[in-house]
């Protein structure tokens, strides 16, 4: 709102200086001569704000802190999926022998349960 209000107030000051003969606002209305630079500044502020928020989210661990707690049902289901994938039958289904299936580096997609 503030970003849109500022250029509007500058243009309004320009109208008042030119048509209502209010010389007090002439310095403020002169800002309209450099709106191109002002636009670049506004874009830079948005990009820096977005980038800063992304860095804070990524490196401050906000995703882990703000995530809802995992329910017992979901964790039980996840443990069952891991056990199924690391079993002999799951390894055969993936086309691997059990010895070559490393549970810490599994990259095969999980199939849907029937």
Q: What is the pLDDT of residues 18-34, one digit of tens each?
A: 999 888 999 999 988 88
Name the residue among 46, 25, 90 with its Cα closest to residue 54. 46
CB 110 within 8 A of CB 84: no
Q: What is the pLDDT of residue 12?
A: 93
Question: Which one, of 84, 63, 65, 81, lies nearest residue 73 by Cα?
Answer: 81
- The closest alpha carbon to 38, from 70, 4, 61, belongs to 4
Q: Is the whole-model pTM more than 0.85?
A: no
- Residue 78's φ and ψ, nearest 5 degrees, are -65, -40
State the pLDDT at residue 51.
96
How far is 60 from 54, CA to CA, in rounded Å? 10
Model pLDDT, residue 22: 87
């Amino acid at each position: 709102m503030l970003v849109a209000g500022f250029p509007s107030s500058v243009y309004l000051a320009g109208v008042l200086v030119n048509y209502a003969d209010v010389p007090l606002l002439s310095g403020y209305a002169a800002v309209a001569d450099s709106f191109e630079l002002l636009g670049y500044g506004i874009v830079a502020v948005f990009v820096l704000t977005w980038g800063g928020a992304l860095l804070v989210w990524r490196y401050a661990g906000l995703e882990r802190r703000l995530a809802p707690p995992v329910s017992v049902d979901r964790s039980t289901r996840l443990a069952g999926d891991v056990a199924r994938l690391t079993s002999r039958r799951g390894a055969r289904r993936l086309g691997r022998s059990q010895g070559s299936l490393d549970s810490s580096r599994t990259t095969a997609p999980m199939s849907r349960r029937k």
